[in-house]
């Protein structure tokens, strides 16, 4: 049985949809580690108090999803270099009475694409749509994976500018205006980290001139939330189209390793979730 001090959780708002408890339960069973992992709803204005209460009750670590990743960053005493670059935290570790933050989103995305799918990201010209917590998490990892250039576009251009400035690679990372997408040429990698498809929002729209014969289209979301972008990508003739389920499982494995010192085998967990695809209804 799990001990009272081995408590973990995922925090978000809303959170009832989360697959993280199922994923971490599978990892725990696979590795023989006793684990109490819950989903905790945390409205942004109450997140700090909820996290403090969780720690007081023996919480040892947690995952953070929408819309709390940037708020989690502000609540950490220490953060990893990749979290600092992102300005966002998706993994919390309790050490010496303080929260330490990391961001495993980018590592999860790259591992899914290059490991599970055998794709080579090197030399690709990449377009990142969005500049919120999810985009900030994956941008540094894409640069580390060897992409040639990263163009960041957001409907609020100031956020795209801030993300590019934080990356600190002016020769490889650039921000552009959303209404100027048709003038940006084509890309071998397009990553959607926008809110298109969430909360019943209308479909995704962008010029098909962004696509070429090699384009890999990736949505960091999964399930119904990813449908608008993936439909656009298929209609535009993208060579490969990928949703965010694999990224979700891989980033969870990175978190699990931070907490327990062992990285689980993600293959069986991913396949089990994919087989239950009718239950994949939203994003994290």
pLDDT of residue 198: 62
> Is 188 labelled a binding residue?
no
- For domain 7-103+246-279, is the CATH number 3.20.20.150? no
> Is 20 labelled a binding residue?
yes
Domain borders along the chain are 7-103+246-279, 106-243
pLDDT of residue 107: 97
pLDDT of residue 278: 46
Which pTM value belongs to this model?
Answer: 0.93
106-243: same fold as 7-103+246-279? yes
CATH of 106-243, one of 3.90.550.10, 3.40.190.10, 3.40.50.720, 2.40.40.20: 3.40.50.720
Could you say which residues of the chain have pLDDT below 50?
Answer: 1-5, 278-279, 281-283
Q: Give me the active site residues, please.
A: 69
pLDDT of residue 2: 41
pLDDT of residue 127: 98
> Is 284 labelled a binding residue?
no
> Is 8 labelled a binding residue?
no
In tens, the pLDDT along 49-67 reads 999 999 999 999 999 998 9
> Is 95 labelled a binding residue?
no
> Which residues lie closer than 8 Å to 18 by C-beta, 6 or more apart?
10, 12, 39, 65, 284
> Is 273 labelled a binding residue?
no
């Amino acid at each position: 049985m799990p001990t009272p001090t081995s408590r973990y959780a995922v925090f978000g708002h809303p959170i009832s949809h989360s697959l993280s408890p199922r994923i971490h339960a599978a990892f725990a069973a696979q590795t023989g580690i006793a684990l109490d992992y819950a989903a905790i709803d945390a409205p942004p204005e109450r997140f700090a108090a909820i996290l403090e209460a969780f720690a007081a009750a023996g919480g040892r670590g947690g995952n953070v999803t929408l819309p709390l990743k940037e708020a989690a960053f502000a609540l950490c005493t220490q953060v990893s270099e990749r979290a600092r670059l992102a300005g966002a935290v998706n993994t919390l570790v309790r050490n010496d009475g303080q929260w330490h933050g990391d961001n495993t989103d980018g590592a999860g995305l790259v591992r899914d694409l290059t490991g599970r799918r055998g794709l080579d990201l090197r030399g690709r010209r990449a377009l990142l749509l969005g500049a919120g917590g999810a985009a900030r998490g994956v941008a540094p990892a894409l640069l580390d994976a060897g992409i040639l250039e990263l163009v960041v576009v957001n409907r609020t251009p100031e956020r795209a500018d801030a993300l590019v400035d934080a990356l600190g690679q002016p020769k490889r990372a650039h921000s552009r205006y959303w209404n100027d997408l048709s003038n940006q040429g084509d890309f071998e990698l397009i990553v959607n980290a926008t809110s298109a498809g969430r909360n019943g929002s209308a479909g995704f729209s962008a010029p098909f001139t962004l696509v070429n014969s090699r384009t890999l289209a990736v949505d960091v979301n999964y399930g119904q939330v990813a449908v608008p972008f993936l439909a656009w990508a298929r209609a535009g003739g993208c060579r490969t189209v990928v949703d965010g389920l694999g990224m979700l499982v891989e980033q969870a494995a990175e978190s699990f390793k931070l907490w327990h010192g062992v990285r689980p085998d993600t293959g069986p967990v991913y396949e089990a979730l994919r087989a239950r695809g009718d239950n994949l209804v939203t994003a994290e």
